[in-house]
């Protein structure tokens, strides 16, 4: 049992380092071609922090581990929303732009609701996410990217572009090494998580919702906490909301296209919890100080996560 745990930790190290290398290489490549920091932040960084979830899910889906696929997406989104946003809000109350309240947070809520509807296949009556559902999610993701593009074209403030002097060889080496580390890390995490679940007699669902979800959310945690200490609210909350949208519309979509996902209805409480938490975040923007996540609201998020985790574990034990 010790070996699988050590290999899972090693896998997480590969995932985190791989994501960092890929983000750094991609950022240098973007600067090489005079792409602004704004575009880099909205695309490369958002994708990079979701890369561990994507790689883990691609591997899990190809091996038909549906519970790990679902547990990783739902668990990561809950960890992002309740734990990371809770920690960040306690460090420094998060000021939120009105456009995020009107657009991005509702999009994140809508994505979670669509996830629930597709999982229960309200139009066919069977539980699962088919390849057609995956294509639908992917088309919605394309629409989200188009929305980001339109938002950027409306941006009046021009970001200063700093051209990278790093050689193309070094840039592509960073990207390739990062991608290789992600693949190795993802394989280590999935295979050993399955082995750990089997040896402990717990479900893959529980492993996906807890250990894997928390591990793949580490890039979001680091990014948002650093942003909070720098009092950069836009990056702190933008990283969380953007990652949650990416996880459902991109990661889940690709996973279901690779292999249709069998939906376990035991995930319903966790999915309801995600939807409820996103609703709470939206309401929090209009309570206390408007357009700000206050410390007491952040504390509620963290406390709610602890209570819910105890509930989920107790259900698993019983």
Q: Which domain holds residue 200?
A: 2-317
Distances (CA, A) of 99 to 86, 105, 107, 238: 21, 9, 11, 11
pLDDT band at 5 (very low <50, low <70, confident <90, very high): confident
- 147 Cα distance to chain centroid: 19
**CA nearest to 299, candidates 43, 2, 19, 89:** 89
Roughly what angle, to the nearest 10 degrees, separates helices 105-119 and 268-284? 160
Mean pLDDT of 36-65: 76
Mean pLDDT of 16-26: 77
pLDDT value at residue 158: 47
pLDDT tens digit sequence for 143-157? 998 888 777 676 544
Mean pLDDT of 308-315: 89
Output the six-digit token pair for 62: 């190809």
Q: How far apart are CA 308 and CA 127, in angstroms?
A: 24
User: 253 or 29: which carries more pLDDT confidence?
Assistant: 253
Mean pLDDT of 112-118: 94
**Domain total for the chain?**
1
Q: Among all chains, which residue has been given the structure tokens 């279901």?
A: 256
pLDDT value at residue 222: 76
Q: How far apart are CA 214 and CA 234, in angstroms?
A: 23
Cβ proximity of 237 and 92 under 8 Å: no
Q: What is the CATH number of the domain that holds 13?
A: 1.20.1420.30
**CA nearest to 258, candidates 65, 52, 121:** 65
- 128 Cα distance to chain centroid: 21
Helix residue spans in the chain (DSSP H) = 2-32, 37-40, 46-62, 66-78, 85-91, 98-99, 105-119, 131-154, 168-200, 204-207, 213-216, 218-229, 233-246, 253-258, 268-284, 295-317
Q: How far apart are CA 79 and CA 305, in angstroms?
A: 8
The overall average pLDDT reported for the chain is 83
Cβ proximity of 234 and 102 under 8 Å: no
Cβ proximity of 88 and 224 under 8 Å: yes
The 3-state DSSP class for residue 16 equals: helix
Q: How far apart are CA 10 and CA 190, in angstroms?
A: 12
Task: Say whether pLDDT at 260 is over 90.
Answer: yes
pLDDT tens digit sequence for 160-207? 445 556 777 888 888 788 878 878 887 888 788 878 877 877 888 888
User: 123 or 10: which carries more pLDDT confidence?
Assistant: 10
């Amino acid at each position: 049992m010790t070996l699988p745990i050590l290999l899972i930790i090693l896998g997480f190290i590969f995932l985190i380092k791989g994501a960092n290398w890929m983000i750094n290489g991609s950022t240098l490549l973007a600067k090489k071609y005079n792409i602004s920091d704004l575009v880099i932040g909205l695309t490369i960084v958002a994708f990079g922090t979701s890369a561990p979830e994507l790689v883990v899910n691609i591997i899990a889906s190809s091996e038909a581990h549906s519970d790990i696929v679902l547990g990783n997406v739902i668990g990561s989104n809950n960890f992002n929303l309740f734990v990371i946003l809770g920690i960040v809000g306690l460090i420094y109350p998060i000021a939120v732009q009105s456009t995020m309240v009107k657009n991005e947070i509702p999009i994140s809520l809508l994505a979670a609701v669509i996830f629930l509807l597709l999982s229960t296949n309200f139009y066919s009556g069977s539980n699962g996410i088919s390849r057609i559902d995956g294509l639908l999610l992917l088309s919605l993701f394309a629409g989200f990217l188009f929305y980001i593009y339109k938002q950027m074209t409306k941006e009046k403030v021009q970001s200063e572009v700093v051209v990278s002097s790093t050689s193309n060889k070094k840039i592509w080496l960073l990207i390739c090494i990062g991608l290789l580390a992600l693949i190795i890390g993802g394989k280590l995490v999935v295979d050993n998580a399955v082995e750990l679940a089997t040896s402990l007699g717990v479900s893959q669902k529980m492993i996906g919702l807890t250990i894997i979800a928390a591990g793949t959310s580490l890039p979001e945690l680091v990014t948002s906490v650093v942003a909070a200490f720098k009092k950069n609210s836009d990056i702190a909350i933008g990283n969380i909301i953007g990652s949650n949208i990416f996880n459902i519309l991109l990661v889940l979509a690709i996973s279901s296209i690779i292999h249709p996902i069998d939906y376990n209805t035991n995930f319903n409480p966790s999915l309801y919890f995600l939807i409820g938490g996103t609703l709470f975040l939206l309401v929090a923007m209009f309570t206390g100080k408007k357009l700000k996540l206050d410390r007491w609201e952040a504390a509620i998020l963290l406390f709610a996560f602890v209570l819910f985790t105890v509930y989920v574990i107790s259900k698993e034990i019983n």
